[in-house]
């Protein structure tokens, strides 16, 4: 798991200079959220645990291609939803929660400030 995290961190760090100069870099907290969601996905798939995959799905609700430069390294959301549903087969309450998380939109709020957008 540690080599994956280290490789992803290096990839994310190398991708940042490639972004446009006027795009603000993702915050360290946002990058930690990316890494944590990938770790939860890997562990959830390894253990076939729908709760871990659900947690990763909820973390992903506030991440998208415009907020994180390394978004192409994300695990596909549709594949994650299908894996979580397969792991939660027969558990109706979990299946409903997975459906809700799959349709959840970003909770990020952005506002203009001195000619640029600040998001949290």
C-alpha span between 92 and 68 (Å, rounded): 33
C-alpha span between 107 and 94 (Å, rounded): 22
Per-residue DSSP letter, 23: S
Residues 6+ apart with CB under 8 A from 38: 4, 5, 8, 56, 73, 74, 75
- Please give the distance of CA 110 from its chain centroid, rounded to a whole number: 18
- Write the pLDDT tens digit of every residue in 68-81: 555 556 788 888 99
Given a cut of 70, the residues of the chain with pLDDT beneath it are 1-26, 63-73, 105-111, 113, 117-120
Closest among 67, 84, 62 to 19, alpha carbons compared = 67
The pTM of the whole model exceeds 0.75: no
């Amino acid at each position: 798991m540690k080599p994956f995290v280290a490789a992803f961190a290096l990839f994310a760090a190398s991708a940042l200079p490639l972004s446009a100069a006027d795009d603000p870099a993702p915050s360290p907290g946002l990058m930690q959220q990316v890494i944590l969601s990938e770790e939860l996905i890997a562990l959830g798939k390894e253990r076939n645990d729908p709760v871990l995959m659900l947690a990763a799905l909820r973390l992903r609700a506030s991440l998208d291609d415009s907020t994180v430069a390394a978004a192409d390294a994300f695990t596909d959301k549709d594949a994650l939803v299908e894996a979580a549903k397969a792991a939660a087969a027969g558990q109706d309450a979990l299946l409903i929660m997975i459906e809700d998380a799959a349709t959840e939109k970003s909770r990020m709020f952005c506002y203009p400030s001195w000619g640029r957008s600040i998001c949290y």
